[in-house]
Amino acid sequence: MSDLPVTGEVSNSKLAAVFGSRDAARDAATALVAELGLQPAQVKLVTPDSADVDIQLEPEGGGIWHTIVVAHVRLGIAGAVVGLLAFLALYWAGIPFVVQSPWVAGLAGTGFGAIAGLLLGGLVSLRPDHDRYIQATRSAIDEGRTTLVLHALSAEQNTRAAAFLSRRGAAVTRTL
């Protein structure tokens, strides 16, 4: 699905790396930009006294509306196609109800497939993979620790950064 994304966000891969001190997090951020070639705008430090935590964690607020529309449209269409293919397979297999009532069976298969796709689009829009990432940052704030937040532009960039930050002693939590 990388050629046809179902989200409207620039950064789908995020990570939170919790450090025991602000200095360790700042040093890791500087090294991350220098050694992995990330842009400074991709890396944010969230401290217990940060005022704009929500914006630092999810800076693409407008992207969620695009994600909602794109996910529902693309996955709804994909579900309808899968439902239609299931109908065709059942028709080809000679299932009596399908062969005797092809219009009803075709509409039912396509309709149920579209509904399943729309439900999946709703799940994608909720972004359940972000809960652990956000909770890790909130817990670190409550404990007085500093979190380095990375908005990776690819899953590969996220993986490299996670390994890099883990080697520096951070507790890393990633989105999918």
pLDDT digits (tens, 9 = 90+) for 3-57: 446 665 656 678 889 998 889 999 999 998 888 888 888 888 888 887 776 666 6
Show me where the domains of the chain are located: 13-59+128-174, 63-126
49-58 confidence digits (pLDDT tens): 877 766 666 7
What is the model's pTM?
0.66
CB 50 within 8 A of CB 176: no
Average pLDDT over residues 55-64: 65
Average pLDDT over residues 152-161: 86
142-161 burial by CB neighbour count: b if 16+ within 10 A, else e?
eeebbbbbbbbeeeebbebb
Cα 72 from chain centroid (whole Å) = 15
**pLDDT range class, residue 1, cuts 50, 70, 90:** very low
Q: What is the pLDDT of residue 35?
A: 87
Q: What is the pLDDT of residue 2?
A: 43
Q: What is the pLDDT of residue 3?
A: 47
Domain 13-59+128-174 bears CATH identifier 3.30.70:
yes
